[in-house]
Amino acid sequence: MDTVNKNLEEEDDKENGDVIHDEINHKHIEKILESSITKYKSILESSVNRNIIVVLGNTGAGKSTLINFIIGKELIGNKFKNVELKNPEDTSAMAIGSGGGSQTLLPQFVMLKDSNLYDMPGFGDTRGTAINLVNASFIKRIIENAKTTKFLFVAGLDELIAKRGENFKEFVEVIKKIIPNENIEDFSALIVTRSDQDNEETLIEFVEQKSPGITSDIPFIKKKMAQMSKPDKKGRLDNDESIKIKDMISKMNSKKINKVNIAASYNQHTLKDLKKIYQEGIKTIQEERFHHNFDEKQLNILTIEQLEEKRLYFEFTLNSEIYEHFKLSPFVANVRPISEEIFDNAWSEMLVHIKNQSMIVQKKIRMQQNEISAEAERQRLIKEQQQKDANAEAERLRLIKEQQKKNANAEAERLRLINEQQRLIDEQRQKDANAAAEKRRLEANVETERKRFIEEQKSNKRQSIQTQINEAKSTQMQLIRSKTDILQIMTNEVEPNEKPTPLEYIVDFEEASSGYVYWVTWSKSGRTHHPRLFKLDNDRSEYKKKWRYYNEEIKNIAQKLSRLEYDLQNI
């Protein structure tokens, strides 16, 4: 079985040549993929309609050794307590690695009674992107083509207890991502290699002690686990353990797996390389399409229709043609199923580049189209001008013959036109004069209307103020009469010759300490106190308050009249 691995390594070395291993080449990857798929088609198709057992584990876990142990190959322990084939030349056995390196480059299998037992290569192989992609393609197809699948995880005891088993837990998490929407616990088991425990029970206790919580994180460890112990001092293995392992495998559940998301196993280096490979392949096809459909040196010999056909090709057809051509290439057909999202991302990024390059080509084509159109237009104009010149010459000769006959008519027409022109000028002048007069009339009307409106506003304001004045005077007279009536009542006991005349000259009343009231008049010489009038009783006291109220209102109305008359004068 190690012949497959040797052939693949030789193919990889042959394609690489002297190229540094990290430098990825699209053609190199494509050749290795095509070569591997062609040469090892039997491995790809080996799981079709078969029940399979997939042995999974990190590099160095002892997967190949375990398979040899299960299928009954003779194994011995060497002086370093490592297990090796007793007969290293046995080509039917799985090759066993040494020094912790992976010996498996492609999935290998042995056929059991009712199933195939597969030794899967480690994920993220350090030997390069090409081998990783070949592995991924084979692993995906083998598992998806199988009738049912069982997972047999393999881990050395040292791996389970180192760093609380973090490496193994991470490996199981990767497998869960690779098999989405499935509970792998239902169809998985664990084989612990290089064990130094007496039995499975003490092994579980030891693992739980060294890596607390690992059995709760990965439940099938406790439920479905067996061990492959280290060789004894004589280098012998416990064959009873092989029987237990095969018995456990036969009792395991199996599951049909329809989808393997193998891209979840890629490391960042592989993802970066794969994206670069896709972009390189797209760019290669783009350059081929550009070279096939666009030669700038030949643009000037194409017709405008041919140029338009090319422009439409670059605008509407090129993108889909590159996509279809690349999609149908053997490389993409083999790699895309194991990297769909990376393919889409690479295409999206390259599509921008393709469109930019296409726009440059379209611009050049349009420029050439414009030049052809301009030249065609120039030739058309030349021919048209030549035809016009010929027609003009013929017309000139005809006009010469008819010129004398037309002279009189031309002169008459000239005079008529002069008269008509003068008439039009006079008519235009009259129109201008009428327009100016109409303008002045309209302006005068506007001014008249403006003045009328202003006068009307003033008149309305005068009427309003005059109305207020009349109302104020009327109110004033009413108050004076009321005031006079009160004075008449208050002074009706005073001798006539002692009353002031007229009564409206009284400006105030003052009350003496004796209880009698004096009237106060106003003259140019000032306030004057007159003889007593009467004794102030309650009725007269009320009249006095009213008189003073009326007197104050009369003063306020007088002030208001003064303001209104001032406003009336200033309108």
- pLDDT tens digits for range 60-101: 888 989 999 998 888 888 877 788 888 888 877 777 765 444
Number of separate domains in the chain: 3
> Is residue 132 included in any domain, yes or no?
no
Could you tell me which residues come within 8 angstroms of residue 184 by beta carbon, excluding any fewer than 6 positions away? 151, 172, 175, 176
> Is residue 72 included in any domain, yes or no?
yes
Domain of 347 in residue numbering reads as 275-464
Could you tell me which residues come within 8 angstroms of residue 148 by beta carbon, excluding any fewer than 6 positions away? 51, 52, 254, 255, 256
Could you tell me which residues come within 8 angstroms of residue 87 by beta carbon, excluding any fewer than 6 positions away? 74, 93
Residues 446 and 527 in one domain: no
Residues 403 and 514 in one domain: no
pLDDT at 147: 95
This prediction's pTM = 0.55
Residues 518 and 560 in one domain: yes
| Domain-terminating residue out of 266, 292, 308 | 266
- Tell me the pLDDT tens digit for each residue of 338-382: 777 777 887 787 878 778 777 877 787 788 888 888 888 999 999
Beta bridge pairs of residue 76: 84
> Is residue 229 included in any domain, yes or no?
yes
Residues 401 and 338 in one domain: yes
pLDDT at 504 over 70: no
pLDDT at 2: 46
pLDDT at 483: 78
Tokens of 338: 């194991």
Task: Give residue for tokens 């794969």.
Answer: 274
CA–CA distance from 177 to each of 14, 107, 183, 256, 452 (Å)?
Answer: 34, 20, 11, 16, 96
Residues 360 and 247 in one domain: no
Residues 165 and 196 in one domain: yes
Judge contact between 220 and 175, C-beta under 8 A: no
Tokens of 444: 């005068």
Residues 284 and 158 in one domain: no
| Domain-terminating residue out of 447, 464, 481 | 464
Residues 454 and 471 in one domain: no
Judge contact between 330 and 32, C-beta under 8 A: no
The pLDDT mean for the chain works out to: 81
Residues 173 and 298 in one domain: no
> Is residue 299 included in any domain, yes or no?
yes
- Tell me the pLDDT tens digit for each residue of 112-160: 888 999 998 866 555 567 777 788 888 889 999 999 999 999 999 999 9
pLDDT tier for residue 18 given thresholds of 50, 70 and 90: very low
pLDDT at 502: 55
Q: Taking the alpha carbons of 381, 382, 384, 388 in that order, is the dihedral positive or negative?
A: positive
